[in-house]
Structure 1
Amino acid sequence: MMRRLLAPLLVAATSVAAAGCGAPADTGGRLPVVAAFYPLQFVSERVGGDLVRVTNLTKPGAEPHDVELSPRQVARIVDARVAVYLHGFQPAVDEAVAQNAPEQGYDVSTAVGLRHAGETEEEHEEHEGHEHGATDPHVWLDPTRLATIGDDLARRLAGLDPAHATDYTARAAALRRQLTDLDGEFRAGLATCARRELVTSHTAFGYLAERYHLTQIGITGIDPEAEPSPRRLAEVAAQARAHGTTTIFFETLVSPKVAETIAREAGASTAVLDPLEGLTDPDADYFSVMRANLAALTTALGCSS
């Protein structure tokens, strides 16, 4: 009887020990950094360079909103000097940092703040009378805000590794220059367009639209898994027709079926606009995907340089 009672306790103890002791990787003297998903991996690698070893908690091509962490990944967070994440975007990561590594956690929203999430009319009605306070997490789609995150991360890394503070600062400054150039490309490319309405499968592009003076029309709100009602589909199709929309955008990690439905109703085509939550092409990076987005936007909106 006692043996049967002790067995599950021994299994649980073994699992915890494995999570705490078996996961750490040899970092070769570099600072171990954990990044919650791709854009945060990108900025961590650019600012840290060869002084850090970055582990991404979200596999390439996976939907980051739905990530579940293994014991090994939780152990990586515990052993990291910095865990770079975005509070409210990935509940599993929020919980793991809060419970296991609150001092290592670096919430990038503290550097830039977040805008209120765009809601469809239906979502607003559902939330009416309730305190929801939803925010839009897709802050990296504004290059200038990502540059600010890079600067702030450099200060964090310099505090942990003072001997290389000037290296982190210099890399963050170089990244800022590149992101400023990219911002200039977007401002020039989207300055003069036949249309400024951006019809997307869900409202992931609020920061981009705000920065470059576009109007985002989302088929659904901030949740990419939400299912639009027939009423919402009809509303967006009507808006697309009224604005002369030629392209309905869908995302790389989300089914294009809803966008295709709207496109048929509006007499438009579909195209990809990548929210950069994760890479699907191993040869791509933040800059190449953002420039592909710019090319898609200038074509869809009838822009002239």
Structure 2
Amino acid sequence: MKNFRKEIFGLLVIVFLSVNATCQEKTSSATDSSSKVEKKDKKKKKKKKYKLPKIDLSHWSVTTPELNKKGGAMNIEPPAILDYATDERLIPYMYNDSVNGALVFYSFPSNATTANTKYTRSELREQMVPGDNNTNWTFADGAYMKGKLAMEDVSKSSDGKFHKVIIMQIHGRLTNEQRDLIGQKDNNAPPILKIYWQDGKVRVKTKKLKNVSATDEELLHEDAWDDDDGFTFEQEVGFGKFILEVKISEGKMVVVLNKNEYAVYEDVSMRRWGIFENYFKAGNYFQSRDEGSFAKVKYYELEVKH
């Protein structure tokens, strides 16, 4: 009888240990599985929280509404611009929206204006050779710029309309020889292209010759050129994302909105503009001096090809 009891007791111990081990194994497996899920969720959350804009700044300088030591607008060139995220001079005016993966350009009226304008900007200037403004391109060379962007926020004027912002440009530039030929003190030439965000739409302004028979030397003077009437795309972009492309070839300029609406310029003014060098600009060239006014433009992507 004692032996029988011992056998029964032994069997019960074995069963208990087996069941306990199985429970522990299941609990451990469930815990491991839960831990893995939590780690995956954490990784996903981390990835969603931090995004960077798709913009290579190595061939851009930037001008801000901040005054430099000489009393002019602050300008930062490569390679310093690459540290914009930690550069105290740039942080207020050019910073990452790491949730949406955009580079934000903030501007408002200040005393930090550049030559030939009363408006301020937080705007990139193309530099084909980093740190050098003397190497630029002509229409014959060809050029292409594409940006994915959005207006984040902009103030309104007293009449209730949003303030205008130039979001892209092609600026003309005199060579040193051309500058000396006409006796001008700097290399500034008119902008052949200005693209505005205006009342939720995209508006294009360009230049046209006052006299199509003007000599090459006369073309170099700013007063040889006049503003055209402008063109407004039909699509309303509002505060949403949109894509802008600018395509340049000899005697021709094409502006494309969202790959389905086109503004094409191909006339004598475009052909004769070939006398100038040019460079791209992109960002926030704010068009107001109203007190308290401001704008924030977000660039998700920006690329240039030649």
Q: Name the one with the larger helix percent.
A: 1
TM-score, normalised via structure 1 length:
0.29
How high is the TM-score relative to the length of structure 2? Answer: 0.29
Larger Rg computed on CA atoms:
2
Q: Relative contact order (alpha carbons < 8 A, sep ≥ 6): 1 or 2 greater?
A: 2
